[in-house]
Amino acid sequence: MAPMTRSRSDDEGRMPGYAADYYRRRCRPRSRRSFPLQLWHTGRISHPDLHGGERPVAPSAIRPEGQAFTKDGMQDHVEPRALETDEIPAIVADYRRAAENAWAAGFPEATASRARR
- State the amino acid at position 110 in one-letter form: A
Residue 105 lies in a domain: yes
Determine, yes or no, domain membership for 37.
yes
Per-residue pLDDT of the chain (117 residues; tens, 9 = 90+): 555 555 667 777 777 877 777 777 776 655 555 667 888 888 898 899 988 899 999 999 999 999 988 888 899 999 999 999 999 999 999 999 999 988 888 888 888 876 555
pLDDT of residue 33: 59
Tell me the C-alpha distance between 64 and 36, whole Å: 29
pLDDT for 69 equals 85
The predicted structure's pLDDT at residue 112? 80
Could you tell me the residue range of the domain that residue 89 belongs to? Answer: 17-112
In the chain, the number of structural domains is: 1
- Judge whether 3 lies within some domain: no
- Range list of H helices, 15-77: 17-26
In a domain, 38, yes or no: yes
